[in-house]
Chain A
Amino acid sequence: MAKVPKPSELELQHVLPKTDWMDTPAVFRPGNFSYPGKAKNLKVLGLANPREWSPMDEDWKLPADWKNIILEGLRERLDKYRTLKVFMDICVRCGACADKCHYYLGSGDPKNMPVLRAELLRSVYRKEFTLAGKIMGKMVGARDLTEDVIKEWFMYFFQCTECRRCSLFCPYGIDTAEFTIIGRELLNLIGCNIDWIAGPAANCYQTGNHLGIQPHAFKDMIDFFVDEIEAVNGIRVEPTFNRKGAEFLFVTPSGDVFADPGTYTLMGYLMLFHEIGLDYTWSTYASEGGNFGFFTSHEMMKRLNSKMYAEAKRLGVKSIIGGECGHMWRVINQYMDTVNGPADFMEVPKSPITGTRFDNAASTKMIHIVEFTADLIKNGKLKLDASRNDNLVMTYHDSCNTARGMGFFDEPRYVLNNVCNNFYEMPPNTIREQTFCCGSGSGLNNDEFMEMRMRGGLPRANAVRHVHEKFGVNALSCICAIDRAALPTLMNYWVPDVTVYGLHELVGNALVMEGETERTTDLRGEPLPGMEDNENEDI
Chain B
Amino acid sequence: MAIEHHLKKHREEISQKWFDLLACTYPQQTVRLFKKESDPFANPVGQTFKAAIGEILDEFLGENRAEALAPLLDKVIRVRAVQSFSPSEALGFIFGLKKLVEEILEEELAEGEMEMGDLREFEGKVEAMGLLAFDVYTRCRESLFEIKITEMKSNTRRLLERAQLIIGE
Contact = CB atoms under 8 A, between A and B. Distances in A.
Instruction: Determine direct contact between A and B, CB below 8 Å.
Output: yes
Interface stretch (A328-336, A449-457, A527-535): A449-457
Contact of B45 (A12, A14, A105, A466): A105
Interface string B49-93: 000000000000000000000000000001100111100110011
Contacts of A480: none
Contacts of A15: 24-28
A29 B48 contact: no
A108 B159 contact: no
B116 interface: no
B29 A110 contact: yes
A65 to B, nearest CB: 34
A492 interface: yes
Interface residues of B, number: 49
B16 interface: no
B41 A108 contact: no
Interface stretch (B7-15, B106-114, B149-157): B149-157
Contacts, number: 149
Given A258-B156, A259-B157, A260-B154, A10 B92 contact: yes
Interface string B17-42: 00001001111111001100101111
A258 B41 CA distance: 34
B98 interface: yes
Given A29-B84, A489-B150, A260 B27 contact: no
Contact of B82 (A104, A108, A260, A454): A454
A452 B147 CA distance: 14
A108 B37 contact: no
A500 to B, nearest CB: 10
Nearest to A10: B92
Given A32-B84, A107-B83, A220-B162, A11 B92 contact: yes
Interface string A212-239: 0100010011001000000000000000
Contacts of A289: none
A7 B89 CA distance: 9
Given A450-B148, A489-B151, A108 B44 contact: no
A260 B146 CA distance: 16
B88 A105 contact: no
Contacts of B96: 7-8, 11
A462 B144 contact: no
A429 B147 CA distance: 28
Contacts of B159: 211, 213, 217, 221, 258
Interface in A456-489: 458-459, 462-463, 466, 485, 488-489
- Counting chain B CB atoms within 10 Å of each CB, which of A14, A15, A462, A492 scores highest? A14
A347 interface: no
A427 interface: yes
A447 B158 contact: no
Interface string A428-459: 01100000000000000001001110110011
Contact of A458 (B45, B98, B155): B45
B34 A458 contact: no
A104 B27 CA distance: 11
Nearest to A7: B95
B143 A108 contact: no
Given A13-B89, A455-B83, A493-B147, A7 B98 contact: yes
A493 B78 contact: yes
A266 B154 CA distance: 15
A10 B88 contact: yes
Nearest to B22: A11
Interface in A493-520: 493-494
A211 B150 CA distance: 18
B150 A492 contact: yes
B30 A258 contact: no
Nearest to A462: B44
A203 to B, nearest CB: 13
Nearest to B159: A258
A507 B27 CA distance: 46
Contacts of B158: 221, 224, 257-260, 263
B33 A99 contact: yes
Nearest to A451: B82
A73 B82 CA distance: 36
Given A447-B148, A493-B143, A493-B144, A105 B21 contact: no
20 contacts: A7-B96, A11-B92, A12-B25, A13-B92, A14-B25, A15-B25, A31-B84, A32-B84, A105-B42, A211-B159, A258-B158, A259-B154, A260-B158, A263-B158, A450-B82, A451-B84, A454-B82, A459-B44, A485-B155, A488-B151
Closest 6 pairs (CB-CB, A-B): A10-B92, A7-B95, A462-B44, A108-B30, A454-B82, A108-B26
Given A258-B157, A451-B84, 12 more contacts: A10-B92, A15-B26, A18-B28, A32-B84, A98-B33, A105-B43, A106-B45, A106-B83, A259-B157, A263-B158, A466-B40, A493-B147
Interface of A: 5, 7-8, 10-16, 18, 29, 31-32, 98-99, 104-110, 211, 213, 217, 220-221, 224, 255, 257-261, 263, 427, 429-430, 447, 450-452, 454-455, 458-459, 462-463, 466, 485, 488-489, 492-494
Interface of B: 21, 24-30, 33-34, 37, 39-45, 48, 78-79, 82-85, 88-89, 92-93, 95-96, 98-99, 143-144, 146-148, 150-152, 154-159, 162, 165
